[in-house]
Structure 1
Amino acid sequence: MTVAPGESVAITGASGSGKSTLLACILGLTKPDSGRIVVADQDVTRLRHAQLAKLRNQNIGVVFQFGELLPELSPVDNVALAPMLARENSADAYRKARTLLNELGVPDASTTAELSGGEHQRTAVTRALINQPDLILADEPTGALDPDASERTASLLFDLPKQRACGLLLVTHDLAIAARADRVLHLHDGALTARDRSQQGETP
């Protein structure tokens, strides 16, 4: 599987088929038994802990199903934390965070706990984008949202590859969401196959 800059790829598959494990392998959190995983010209399987941390911070953005934000911090604090961990000046980190949050329509709030589900996920997308990654991974990013918030979040995510010149790899059970990607792959028995967009009735 290859995900090119400016391209979106969706992966479908039954629960337990390994979709989240695949993302964990790309992030270097799980080591595959064989093969290579190359992100931004670096083989993830050969990197040491510090090198992996640097790759994740600078080249990969991640959006989880439940956002995984720190609820006691404000949206801008959550987003600015990523560039600050990359040793960026705090003033510059907060300036970039505020600009991007405003661009993605996230309101000011004292804590992320005050945000709606859709606003929470837009904050998570902002955090994933703040360091201008080469690749964005999204793990069931609309799974916990109502239909309206799900539609808005999907639109935001699938606009990113062309707008930001990055790759998007999204895993989902929702075939309607998956169909918005440039390519759809199905994971079954450890193998990825191109999915016919007309197929319906995937087992959850």
Structure 2
Amino acid sequence: MLSDVHLTLTAGSGPVNILNGINLRVGQGETLAVVGPSGSGKTTMLMLMAGLERPTSGQVQVAGVDLTALNEDALSRFRREHLGIVFQAFHLIPTMTAVENAALPLEFAHHPKTRSRALEALEQVGLGHRAGHYPSQLSGGEQQRVALARAFAARPRIILADEPTGNLDEETGARVMELLFTLQAEENATLILVTHDRSLAKRCDRVATMHSGRMEA
């Protein structure tokens, strides 16, 4: 839940208003697409929901927790326990294998069965046979599927996805999104998806449109 959220950053020419009074509620298990032109504030809003950016004013409440009241250590714990994040750039660690990348959130959370759960997550995305391969040995679509496995490995309540098919060709992107929606349904996770693809947005339960840092009605 975002309540009257504002974000102002300081640039060389003075203050720049990035978000201007955002109000948003998302229910458990709901899929929400956030659309709008580049520069409208979509990704910034997602970063606020992840606790990776702080608002200038207003309240950001996720899974019943007021993120604006948490320090950096508490925010890190919150992300570990509640969130899975999928970026447009895959953000895999090149010196780690697919299973090691998928296991990262489990390692941070001190999960008792880190490797077996990471392998299970890779199997879910059809990459169990590629567990020992490094990112450089995987195609773009396979790397994004590893990123999905990493996001879902700890079975988070909320998935935040920022243009997850932006670096993929149309056919591969369609397969990745089919997988994302399948995993979301299996886990009954809340999915908030930032996308420029209107046809993809229509697959979500609801579509929210942003323009110039505001949420349009």
TM-score, scaled relative to structure 2? 0.84
Among candidates 55, 59, 77, match of residue 54 of structure 1? 77
1:73 shift after superposition: 1.1
Q: Which residue of 2 aligns with 1:102?
A: 123
Between the two proteins, the alignment pairs up a number of residues equal to 192
CA distance in 1: counterparts of 2:81 and 2:91, whole angstroms: 18
Show structure 1 runs of 5+ residues with no match: 195-204
CA distance in 1: counterparts of 2:76 and 2:192, whole angstroms: 20
Is the 8 Å Cα contact of residues 39 and 212 (structure 2) preserved in structure 1? no
Q: Which residue of 2 aligns with 1:17?
A: 40
The aligned amino acid for 2:123 is N
Q: Which residue of 2 aligns with 1:79?
A: 102
Is the 8 Å Cα contact of residues 40 and 214 (structure 2) preserved in structure 1? no
Q: Which residue of 2 aligns with 1:197?
A: none
1:8 shift after superposition: 0.6
SS at match of 2:210: strand
TM-score, scaled relative to structure 1? 0.89
**1:27-76: CA deviation from partner (whole Å, max 9, x where unpaired):** 11211122211112111111111110001111010000021111221110
CA distance in 1: counterparts of 2:26 and 2:145, whole angstroms: 23
- The percent of aligned pairs where both chains have the same amino acid is 41
What CA RMSD, in Å, does the superposition of the two structures yield over aligned residues?
A: 1.3
CA distance in 1: counterparts of 2:138 and 2:27, whole angstroms: 33
Among candidates 187, 195, 199, match of residue 210 of structure 2? 187
1:134 shift after superposition: 1.1
**1:103-149: CA deviation from partner (whole Å, max 9, x where unpaired):** 21013142021111111111101101111111100000001101111
Q: Which residue of 2 aligns with 1:161?
A: 184
1:192 shift after superposition: 1.6
The aligned amino acid for 1:96 is R
1:189 shift after superposition: 2.3
1:31 aligns with 2:63: no
Among candidates 128, 151, 157, match of residue 134 of structure 1? 157
**Higher-RCO chain (CA-CA 8 Å, sequence separation at least 6):** 1
1:161 shift after superposition: 3.0
CA distance in 1: counterparts of 2:154 and 2:213, whole angstroms: 32
The aligned amino acid for 2:46 is L
CA distance in 2: counterparts of 1:135 and 1:81, whole angstroms: 17
Q: Which residue of 1 aligns with 2:194?
A: 171
CA distance in 2: counterparts of 1:100 and 1:158, whole angstroms: 15
Show structure 2 runs of 5+ residues with no match: 1-23
Higher relative strand content: 2
Deviant stretches of 4+, over 6 Å: none
The aligned amino acid for 1:81 is L
CA distance in 1: counterparts of 2:91 and 2:114, whole angstroms: 20
